[in-house]
Structure 1
Amino acid sequence: MKISLLNKNDKEKAKSLWGYAFETDEPFYSWYFDNVYDENNCVGIYDDELVSYLQLNPYNLKLNNNIFPCSYVVGVISAPEYRNKGAMKKLLPKALEEMNNKGHAISILMPFDTKFYSTYGWELSYSQLKYHVPIDVIKGLKNKSGDFKKVKIGSSTDSLNEIYESYLCKYNGYVKRDNIEWEYIMREIDSYGGYMYLLTIDNKPCGYIFYYIENKTLNIREMAYTNLEGMGALFNFIYSHTSQVKYVDWPAPIGDNLYLFIKDTIKPEFTNDIRVHPFMCTRVINVKNAIENCIFENDAEFIFTVDDTYAPWNNHTYKVIVNDTKAKVIMIDPIHSQFSCNINTFSQLFFGSIDIYEAIFLNKVNVTDESGIHEFNKVFYKKNNFINEYF
């Protein structure tokens, strides 16, 4: 068996493996492989023919105050006769090498099981609030401002992006979307029979909503707004579907607090179902490059050691000097290390899903000099992450 990037002749086999493992829903299935799939971003295992592969879809994340090129690992697939035979132990390390060669210092991955990929360094760093409420519950949030216009594929992307950026500006780790990413989302919605609307108030874009209607539920794929008036207009639009649906579902960042302002009951049972759902795992691919690409708000200096089984280029002790927003990273003798952790923990610390004190409490960090912990926390602290990309 050999491992390498895919070539043009592998497309139909790659498509067939995807269809067997995931879905063949048309028109999305064919559209995806004609427009998103790129053999140059795929790593596969061959036994005469392609038997296992994954895709490394490129994105840019707004993370730690800067833009990071990133590989989104999707479509991790093995033919049924090659499953449970160690294919991932060969495929994922090769993918790590490929991402490092591309200069992608970080990676994201949507897991089917949040612990399956832990062995290889990916750990959960993003979750979402998932609202499932009776439609009558949102009545108190609505107002009648604004005008709604149906969005056509490829149109209104500047307005949509302006709203998206305004909505997420206080969050960390979201995707910086360009026209191609917006078209991907629109094609996905359209392929599954969904609807897309743009809200304007006084001719100014201030909200959007992408959704499906199924099983008496208005299922929102994504909505965003720039202000309170826009939020109320969107909920008024949703409430206008009372004759069609009984429930409304939508995702929101963990920092969202709308649940504090909508009607609920406690007895005889809860009216609303609002849960935290795990969403995305992350991994730092290159520790030095990742730290040096951040823009920091405080100066700091610390020394730490990383252990990384599957990306050995990360196995170093690092002296980090942060001055005037940027970091200088130097590899030094481990004897000077102030604390150490594995790549899993460092990835969560880097993305801000936990802070160093939580990691210490969970026995994920070995501390030899507490002064380094305080310095580290000045630049890597807990943040509110959000992402809503599915492929």
Structure 2
Amino acid sequence: MEFRLASAEDRELVESLWAYCFEPREHPFFQWYFKKFYRPENVLLGFQNGQMACLTHLNPYTLCLRGREIKTSYIVGLATHPAARRGGVGGKLLKAALSEMKRRGHYINILMPSKAGFYQPYGYELYCHQWKETLPLDALRPLTDRSLHYGFLTSPDQWQCLAPVYEAYTRHLSGYAVRDEASWRSHMEAQLAEGNIAVCFDGDRPVGYLFYQLGEPTIVSGEFVYATAKGKKGLLNYIYNHRSQGDTFQWNEGLHDQSYRFYPDGKEGHETMPFMTGRIVDVKGALEELPYPKDVSGNLVFSVTDPLAEWNTGTWRLSVWHGEGSVEKMPPETAAAVTLPIGTLALLSFGTLAVQDLVFQEKLSGSDAGLELVEALFPQTKCYINEWY
């Protein structure tokens, strides 16, 4: 297969395959995405026998990982033409995408899977789940606070009402998208093309906001964010006031929120939703970007296997001093203290799981001293992200 980045002349090819596999052309999101967000230089095309067989979008993002901003590519819209399916095209496209991301200096990659099982053999692991809450509107009443007031946003110019709430919500979390003015405006434009944005105020201070859609019995919120518990109760009160326009409310929230434990009936409507996978594009580049605990120093020799990126497979030495790391590839005969697949290295980098959990799941093995150092260098964190494209 041959791969190349799209040009302006490829727009019809890109739009056609998106419309075939995802939203139709008349859908509001399709219209917004290709008018406002689409950039041909971020689309990788794959050709087989002179015909386009597949493509994916490599949208640039900035993530906050363990308190440090990291440039990344977010793979979306990965699509294969039906005539080319079941021929290993998807794996070839992912491999080509990794090469392109490495060229760009994006050493960590995220991807929202429709089915995680397709991507896991290629080194992608779920680093972020969310709670998915679905409750009848009448059941919200004991969870509400009526003392707050609300605003209705109609323009991206009002982005500063949302930014401080998001910053408060994501403080102390890992893996989330950093949003500046440009990304906020884009985020809000996409929502306003399909639905509504409401803000909850405690006095003059915004303490919660939600993106939501009306028109169906279930009111669905695509983003539900709050700075305080009172702010969350205020948002639920706002939705409770829509009883004449729906009968159920569905929203997502980060796993770090434990308020479901205090719901009057915790048996109904509470489930986990697999949300985002992460992957290491380049071992050296990724581990030299990450921050480390400043009170931990040492040298970790580890062995990695990668099914797609041959440049990652091998034995490496990570040297950490004063919170910074340097990475060197070692000769093949070098003894490793720890052995792991590339997907596990992503989970450690994001902070998704503790070392003992990865060992139990047989995703990580090594000497006691090696595993102890891994645990010190990659402490578990709380992960969250809510970017959909």
For the aligned pair, the TM-score class normalised by the smaller chain equals: over 0.9
Counterparts in 2 of 1:51 and 1:332: CA distance versus 1, 3 Å:
closer
Q: Structure 1 segments of 4 or more deviating over 3 A?
A: none
Counterparts in 2 of 1:214 and 1:261: CA distance versus 1, 3 Å:
farther
Match of residue 338 from structure 1: 337
Contact 1:138 1:262 in 2 (8 A): no
Report the CA distance between 1:317 and its aligned residue.
1.9
Report the CA distance between 1:89 and its aligned residue.
3.0
The answer on 1:242 being equivalent to 2:238 is no
* Aligned CA-pair RMSD: 1.7
Alignment match of 1:273 (pick from 269, 275, 286): 269
The answer on 1:384 being equivalent to 2:382 is yes
Contact 1:10 1:50 in 2 (8 A): no
Report the CA distance between 1:224 and its aligned residue.
1.6
Contact 1:300 1:378 in 2 (8 A): no
Contact 1:299 1:378 in 2 (8 A): yes
Structure 2: any 5+ residue segments left out of the alignment?
none
Distance in 1 (alpha carbons) for counterparts of 2:91 and 2:242? 49
Higher mean C-alpha deviation, range 351-360 or range 92-101 = 351-360
Distance in 1 (alpha carbons) for counterparts of 2:282 and 2:12? 33
Counterparts in 2 of 1:117 and 1:228: CA distance versus 1, 3 Å:
closer
Report the CA distance between 1:229 and its aligned residue.
2.8
Q: Which amino acid aligns with 1:250?
A: W
Contact 2:29 2:193 in 1 (8 A): yes
Contact 1:128 1:277 in 2 (8 A): yes
The answer on 1:324 being equivalent to 2:322 is yes
Match of residue 20 from structure 2: 20
Listed one character per residue, the Cα deviations across residues 320-344 of structure 1 (whole Å, up to 9, x for unaligned) are: 2222121122223452310111111
Q: Which amino acid aligns with 1:354?
A: L
Alignment match of 1:109 (pick from 108, 111, 115): 111
Paired residues in the alignment total 384
Match of residue 44 from structure 1: 45
State the SS of the aligned residue for 1:131. strand
Match of residue 135 from structure 1: 137
The answer on 1:187 being equivalent to 2:189 is yes
Q: Which amino acid aligns with 1:17?
A: L
Alignment match of 1:284 (pick from 257, 277, 280): 280
Q: Which amino acid aligns with 1:91?
A: L
Counterparts in 2 of 1:26 and 1:215: CA distance versus 1, 3 Å:
closer
State the SS of the aligned residue for 2:376. helix
Higher mean C-alpha deviation, range 72-81 or range 220-229 = 220-229
Match of residue 5 from structure 1: 5
Contact 2:67 2:172 in 1 (8 A): no
Higher mean C-alpha deviation, range 244-253 or range 52-61 = 244-253
Alignment match of 1:304 (pick from 302, 305, 320): 302
Structure 1: any 5+ residue segments left out of the alignment?
none
Match of residue 122 from structure 1: 124
Report the CA distance between 1:135 and its aligned residue.
1.6
Contact 1:209 1:234 in 2 (8 A): yes
Listed one character per residue, the Cα deviations across residues 266-321 of structure 1 (whole Å, up to 9, x for unaligned) are: xxxx4x21001111111011111211112222313222111113112212322222
